[in-house]
Amino acid sequence: MTDYRPDTSGRFGEFGGQFAPETLIPALQELEAAFEVAWSDPGFHAELDALYASFVGRPTPVYHAKRLSQRVGAEVYLKREDLAHTGAHKINNTLGQALLTQRMGKSRVVAETGAGQHGVATATASALLGLECVVYMGAKDIERQALNVYRMRLLGAEVIAVHKGAATLKDAVSEAFRYWVSSVESTHYIIGSVVGPHPFPFIVREFQKIIGTELRQQMSGEPGSFPRPDVIVASVGGGSNAMGIFFPWVRSGVDLVGVEAAGHGLESGAHGASLVAGTPGVLHGSRTYMLQDRDGQVIEAHSVSAGLDYPGSGPEHSYFRDEGLARYVAVTDVEALSAFHEFSRLEGIIPALESAHAVAWVLREAASLKGKTVVINLSGRGDKDVQQVAAMQGDEDA
């Protein structure tokens, strides 16, 4: 198993780094130091592991999806992150960072959210540990994820609508950064994915790699375990669920496939596929593949899934891409919605629209996956998306 770290400048190869304004540098240095101390402290791990076990419900199960397997002609397994408390993998990271917040003596956290899952997970960890919580969310996402907005407010968080730009995840990240710049002495920024300036991509990967670590136990191929996978598939927006499941399997011979949002189609220009169709640049503090024009202005992303509607992805994914350690593909809104419906009927599990992108790729690639053992990281459950999909269906019926 690999266990490498970014270099001293926070880089994975030529990606990553710490492109942050001076105001934030001391806080980033403090965070890195606090993380290093905590991560080598058995007491911190004991506290986090106890919460994972009894609050989150880890390890999350692996499920053999028999009807989907039949449909695809491969043995398809699901890593059930949708069963984690709050309904997605996001809680793995927010609990870890909330504990770090306490250790740094800060009393408030700020977060951005796209689909609302990270916002809910941050609000949950904040309620658990008695921290104040502020969540920035794009106005467009507030509309399409109304249920999660109400959940955050129930949990005591203040949800602030962002009307700038396309009013989606990118704009929410920018506003959360601005809030953090103004309040950095009392506030920690719980970033929701493997993005941002160093040390965020590293820290979030460390908290999320529990997904892949558990899977190595659950699918070791040893007697009493499931067979070893040939292919692991995960959706990629910022890329935390994918990095979480990929990292412990890097260079193990398993084909790692990250599925980005092709939105209306790559040729339409309206998509979120930065690794497939972007170029290297600096977005939100790190050098990574992103959507930009010739002048380096950021191009708005598009996806039916709020969690994949982001013009960049984590720097470590950019590294994986260029080193050939994982490969990245994209599926359209239409394919993802079709998979959302088909998967619900086949398996009795409503997937998050983000995770439905991974399912859609497996359905599309059935021919090349024939006979293989395939794992889909079912990163979240789809309850939050039901209203949006129903409304879209209504439009079609009308």
Label residue 343 exposed, middle or buried (CB < 10 Å: 0-12, 13-18, 19+).
Answer: buried
Query: Looking at beta carbons only, is 32 or 47 nearer to another protein?
Result: 32
Q: What are phi and psi of 222, to 5 degrees?
A: -70, 160
Site membership for another protein, residue 70 (CB under 8 A): no
Query: Looking at beta carbons only, is 20 or 133 nearer to another protein?
Result: 20
Q: Both tokens of residue 83?
A: 């069963």
Among 174, 235, 373, 377, binds another protein (CB under 8 A): 174
- CB of 10 closer than 8 Å to CB of 202: yes
Sequence-ordered list of residues with C-beta below 8 angstroms from that of 237, at least 6 positions apart, any chain: 114, 169, 193, 260, 261, 272, 303, 305, 307, 308, 309, 310, 313, 354
Site membership for another protein, residue 302 (CB under 8 A): no
Among 1, 7, 21, 49, binds another protein (CB under 8 A): 21
- CB of 302 closer than 8 Å to CB of 264: yes
Among 211, 283, 306, 358, binds another protein (CB under 8 A): 283
Site membership for another protein, residue 26 (CB under 8 A): yes
Site membership for another protein, residue 167 (CB under 8 A): no
Task: Determine whether 206 is an active site residue.
Answer: no
d(C-alpha 138, C-alpha 284), whole Å = 16
Task: Determine whether 66 is an active site residue.
Answer: no
Query: Looking at beta carbons only, is 297 or 368 nearer to another protein?
Result: 297
Contacts with another protein: how many residues (CB under 8 A)?
35
Site membership for another protein, residue 33 (CB under 8 A): no
Q: Which member of 79, 90, 170, 209 is catalytic?
A: 90
Query: Looking at beta carbons only, is 300 or 342 nearer to another protein?
Result: 300
Among 42, 224, 253, 294, binds another protein (CB under 8 A): 294
Site membership for another protein, residue 9 (CB under 8 A): yes
Query: Looking at beta carbons only, is 175 or 335 nearer to another protein?
Result: 175
Q: Which member of 75, 112, 206, 260 is catalytic?
A: 112
Site membership for another protein, residue 281 (CB under 8 A): yes
Task: Categorise residue 222: left if φ over 0, alpha if ψ from -120 to 50, beta otherwise.
Answer: beta
Piece of the chain touching another protein by CB under 8 A; list 99-107, 215-223, 286-294, 330-338? 286-294
d(C-alpha 260, C-alpha 79), whole Å = 18
To the nearest 10°, the Cα dihedral for 387, 391, 393, 396?
Answer: -170
Query: Looking at beta carbons only, is 113 or 124 nearer to another protein?
Result: 113
Among 128, 129, 181, 392, binds another protein (CB under 8 A): 181
Task: Determine whether 174 is an active site residue.
Answer: no
Length of the chain: 398
Find the shortest distance in angstroms from Cβ 137 to another protein.
Answer: 17
Piece of the chain touching another protein by CB under 8 A; list 24-32, 37-45, 220-228, 336-344? 24-32
Beta 373-378 vs 231-235: how paired, if at all? Answer: parallel
- CB of 326 closer than 8 Å to CB of 246: yes
Site membership for another protein, residue 137 (CB under 8 A): no
Sheet with 373-378, strands from edge to edge, namely 62-64, 75-80, 373-378, 231-235, 255-263, 327-332
Round the CA-based radius of gyration of the chain to a whole number and report it: 19
Site membership for another protein, residue 164 (CB under 8 A): yes
| CA 108 from centre of chain | 22
Among 292, 313, 332, 388, binds another protein (CB under 8 A): 292
Active site residues: 90, 112, 379
| Residues in contact with another protein by the rule CB under 8 A | 9, 17-27, 164-165, 170, 174, 177-178, 181-185, 281-285, 287, 292, 294-298
